[in-house]
Amino acid sequence: MGETMDDMEKLRTGTTTLGLVCQEGVVLASDKRATMGYLISSKTALKVARLDDHIGMTIAGGVGDAQKLIRWMTGELEIHRMQENKPMKISAAATLLSNVLSNYKFYPFFVQLVLGGYDSKPRLFNLDMAGGITEDKYTATGSGSTFVYGILESEFDENMSMKDCLHLAAKCIVAASKRDIASGNGITIATITKNGFNYLTESDIEKLGKSV
């Protein structure tokens, strides 16, 4: 049986991801639950992807579509680095991804993406399935974003330290997991600074979770 529009909507929205810009860099975070309608299909889904040493992306939506875009972007960034002998700028990578999504808008990738990274400064972009692109200081995607935005609107500050942003990211994912049935089963957090892309360890995330 083929996917109905209701099925596609569940695939497109069932998760919580977010991105924050702070003084030292960018924080990307997500929950770990993957769903198929009302079924929890995975409790260890990785929704924060490293694309290069200086750039990452969160994914919400159809898993196959998201994985294809991750592979495609990783390859394009590697080719650019080899040909130009330098990494691609964050804004250029966001524009490249936007163009890909726009070219397929009549047969779209069912995804919502947050792309962030650090070149001369931290940058963060939100991209929809039709290729729409917006630069933000903070953003969220998925069914849990309704709960996340309420917290971000009241607590985010552009002058926050990395430590404060990590605490805020964990607080947002915990809040979404308590109220959104499609979000939960833990937290993934990554930081991107001038020193590169780094995943927080399970013990570090556990400490953040206990403090919120």
Residue 211's Cβ-count burial label (10 Å; 0-12, 13-18, 19+) is exposed
Residue closest to 175 by CA, chosen among 154, 203, 160, 200: 154
Q: Is 193 a catalytic residue?
A: no
pLDDT of residue 212: 61
Q: What letter would DSSP give residue 128? A: -
DSSP secondary structure, 38-66, as one string: TEEEESS---EEEEETTEEEEEEE-HHHH
Question: How do the pLDDT tens digits run along the chain, 212 residues long?
Answer: 344 434 444 444 568 999 999 989 999 999 998 877 777 778 888 999 999 999 999 999 888 899 999 999 999 999 999 999 999 999 999 999 999 999 998 888 999 999 999 999 999 999 999 999 999 999 999 888 999 999 999 999 989 999 999 999 999 999 999 888 878 889 999 999 999 999 999 988 888 866 66
In degrees to the nearest 10, what's the CA dihedral of 68, 48, 6, 175? 180
Give the predicted TM-score (pTM) of the model: 0.90
pLDDT of residue 35: 79
pLDDT of residue 180: 80
- Helical (H) or strand (E) element with 122: strand 122-127
pLDDT of residue 5: 38
Which residue out of 15, 17, 35, 191 is catalytically annotated?
Answer: 15
DSSP secondary structure, 80-109, as one string: HHHHHSSPPPHHHHHHHHHHHHHHTTTS--
pLDDT of residue 210: 64
For the chain, domains (ranges, CATH) are 5-210 (3.60.20.10)
Sheet containing strand 48-52, strands side by side: 48-52, 55-61, 111-118, 122-127, 133-135
Residue 52's Cβ-count burial label (10 Å; 0-12, 13-18, 19+) is buried
pLDDT of residue 91: 96
1: Cα within 13 Å, side-chain hemisphere: 4
